[in-house]
Structure 1
Amino acid sequence: MASGVASVVSGVGSFLPPRIIGNEDPPLTALDTTGEWIRSRTGIERRRWVEPGTSTGDLAVQAGRAALRSAGYPVVDLVVLTTTTPDHPSPATAPWVAAQLGLGTIAAFDIAAACSGFTYALAAANAWITSRQAQCVLVVAAETLSTITDPSDRGTAVVFADGAGAAVLRSGHLEEPGAIQAVLLGSDGTQKNLAVVNSGGSRQPDTEGTAARADRCLQMRGPDMFAHAVRRMTEVSRLLMERLEWPVESLGAFIGHQANQRILDKVADLVGVPAASRFANIREVGNTSSASIPLVMNDLVTAATVPAGARTLLTAFGGGAVWGAVALNWPDIKPSS
């Protein structure tokens, strides 16, 4: 940490598309499944999907605007957008989002770290602030996973959802509520096929538009993903708390990537997190990939659930394979609306 400078969460916001898909609603009813099967294996009862024509950038603008409102409309130096579903393969989506928010010609870039994207984006923002390259950073995590999901694939169609969450970070002090205390990230590229969209990149171009639908959509090895997610989220959480000398019973809030309720429960059990400190919203919004953690954070700020300054641990695992954890003091901020 450079000269005692810390990055402090000063605002949060979120946006969910209005279209709600319940477990018993079309098109899920066309799958070989039931609402109870989905609930028992994922913990999900409903999720949000965008309407045709709505992009990831559209959701990001709404969430970013809410976070800026929550933070009191500060002067922003940088926008970091994390997503698996950018508006275009090129260019990045972040500059367009910054422009739509009226932030001028500031720096803006995308991060592709799948479901761990928010932890990676927080790490990037933290680095810019603590190195004094920026005073204020807007981090946005936005996904329209329904646009890359095969509706006939039961393993993904019932899980993935759309939404966006955002956080504003400003320069401050380590002792403040909202201050990031430490970050720990990891990756293992040998496991890149845990969750992958095979077609459309330089390794498997689809210039003729003839790729099979399965190759154009996200494919996931569910059981393997479950095992790796539990292992890595548990490890990184333990390591970060050991580094900070935080006893697990001192945690006031533990927020894992909302991949699957059974994964969340298993990780929290293995880490030893008290039941009162575990928070989730997967039942209502599904798996929104990188957006899931900030969506939970915004819910908790809105409900004033966690006291300012409480020790908080965020952890995630995603395709790549990538994982991360961020430790912070719970922020002292007001809801965005």
Structure 2
Amino acid sequence: MKFDGAGIAITGSGSATPKAVIHNDDLSQLVETSDEWIRTRTGIANRHLLPEDSSLSELAAEAAKKAIAAAHLHPEEIDLIILATSTPDDLFGSAGKVQQLIDAKNATAFDLTAACSGFVFGLVTAAQYIRTGTFQKIVVIGADVLSRWVDWGDRTTCVLFGDGAGAVVCQSSPQDQLLGFEMYSDGSQNECLNLAYDGHPKYLIHDVSIQKGGYRAITMNGREVYRFAVAKVPEVIEKTLFRAGLTTEDIDWLILHQANQRIIDAVAKRLKLPSEKVIANLQEYGNTSAASIPIALDEAVRAGKIKPGQTVATSGFGAGLSWGSAIFKWGMPH
């Protein structure tokens, strides 16, 4: 629903990835695997890992600063910061710390947790604030440091994940550039991909016991997640196109969550999109969860691939299980 006729335009992007790189051959020294095994099954060659003396907040702030600069804005002009992450520095949230790091002193800030769908869900959330006239300039950040929660002795998961952050600036616009979106969840498949709490009973007093603990490493049923993604992602993009009154021929670029090259290829084939319209960078970064779409978007914009006015279809999918799609035109309309 629109209260004042405001639309949303996505006007700037930024990204940040750690300098430290772990190659497939490096992983073969940790677990029984090989470069060929990893590449043929996932398409991943490298992953960037955050060093022990850095934080998710710093990585997210770097991406946000770049996006704000690209949108030709100053940090104090930002009204809202939405940080999509599943790996905050603080369980109470890290968006406030990002606000302080980028000196966006006039911005409200909060975390949004939707795992690998987080960026798409965050973008849609930002659009509602802008469309209702509540805020005019919003930074949406997707950032995750999954290296913190990977079991580096589990060869089925440690080869997949990397760290990174990507961000976009959304602004009020007389012409709405978010053409359509769809979001879904299915908690019945929640156990397929987890970073679960591991609690132990602790007796206090008067027969009162509570639970104390931490979190386990990431666990995943790769086969089920693959089947889920290949079925649901083309479907949600097709529904979004229908809602927007578009066809696949209207898509200039497709950017999917960078989980597995086979998933990306299968979705593009189902949508009958040629490979030259598909943007993928998981070979270099692996699965960076909520960061994967905005990192790929930012790199394509800065490389001159994505141009103002072009139509970009995105889809995030993952833990929850959750999935969604957002289709938008890049840049502020003239």
TM-score, normalization by structure 2: 0.92
What whole-Å deviation, never above 9, does each CA across 1:39-62 have from its counterpart, x for those lacking one?
A: 000000111011113221111011
Confirm whether residue 199 of structure 1 aligns to residue 197 of structure 2: yes
How many angstroms apart in 2 are the aligned matches of 1:174 and 1:17? 36
How many angstroms apart in 2 are the aligned matches of 1:271 and 1:151? 36
Match of 1:212 in 2: none
Match of 1:132 in 2: 133
Q: Residue 184 of structure 1: which of 177, 182, 185 is its match?
A: 182
How many angstroms apart in 1 are the aligned matches of 2:108 and 2:119? 18
Deviation at 1:206, TM superposition (A): 6.9
**Residue ranges of structure 1 left out of the alignment (5+ in a row):** 210-214
Change over 3 Å in CA distance of 1:202–1:69 after alignment to 2: farther
Residues 53-202 of structure 1 correspond to what in structure 2 (within 5 A)?
A: 53-74=53-74, 75-89=77-91, 91-174=92-175, 179-200=177-198
Opposite residue 102 of structure 2, the aligned amino acid is: L
How many angstroms apart in 2 are the aligned matches of 1:169 and 1:28? 42
Deviation at 1:124, TM superposition (A): 0.7
Change over 3 Å in CA distance of 1:248–1:66 after alignment to 2: same
What whole-Å deviation, never above 9, does each CA across 1:143-170 have from its counterpart, x for those lacking one?
A: 1000000001111100000000000000
The answer to whether the 8 A contact 2:8-2:127 is kept is yes
The answer to whether the 8 A contact 2:199-2:212 is kept is no
Residues 13-28 of structure 1 correspond to what in structure 2 (within 5 A)?
A: 13-25=14-26, 27-28=27-28
How many angstroms apart in 2 are the aligned matches of 1:174 and 1:36? 48
How many angstroms apart in 1 are the aligned matches of 2:188 and 2:58? 34
Match of 1:274 in 2: 274
Match of 1:251 in 2: 251
Match of 1:292 in 2: 292
How many angstroms apart in 2 are the aligned matches of 1:50 and 1:121? 23
What whole-Å deviation, never above 9, does each CA across 1:16-50 have from its counterpart, x for those lacking one?
A: 0000111111x442211100100000000111011
Name the structure where strand makes up a greater proportion of residues: 2
How many angstroms apart in 1 are the aligned matches of 2:106 and 2:299? 31
How many angstroms apart in 2 are the aligned matches of 1:276 and 1:109? 36
Deviation at 1:201, TM superposition (A): 7.2
Percent identity over paired residues: 34
Deviation at 1:318, TM superposition (A): 1.0
Opposite residue 188 of structure 1, the aligned amino acid is: D
Give the number of the structure whose alpha-carbon radius of gyration is greater: 2
Deviation at 1:327, TM superposition (A): 0.8
The answer to whether the 8 A contact 1:28-1:157 is kept is no
What whole-Å deviation, never above 9, does each CA across 1:67-110 have from its counterpart, x for those lacking one?
A: 11111124100000001101122x21101111111111531111
Opposite residue 199 of structure 1, the aligned amino acid is: Y
The answer to whether the 8 A contact 1:8-1:169 is kept is yes
Query: Tell me, what secondary structure is at the counterpart of 1:21?
Result: strand
Query: Tell me, what secondary structure is at the counterpart of 1:4?
Result: coil
Query: Tell me, what secondary structure is at the counterpart of 1:230?
Result: helix
How many angstroms apart in 1 are the aligned matches of 2:258 and 2:131? 29
Deviation at 1:198, TM superposition (A): 1.9
Change over 3 Å in CA distance of 1:17–1:86 after alignment to 2: same
My pick for the range that moved more, 3-12 or 200-209, is: 200-209
Opposite residue 106 of structure 1, the aligned amino acid is: A
Match of 2:205 in 1: none
**Residue ranges of structure 2 left out of the alignment (5+ in a row):** 203-209
Query: Tell me, what secondary structure is at the counterpart of 2:237?
Result: helix
Confirm whether residue 317 of structure 1 aligns to residue 307 of structure 2: no
* Count, aligned residues: 323
Deviation at 1:267, TM superposition (A): 0.9
Query: Tell me, what secondary structure is at the counterpart of 1:266?
Result: helix
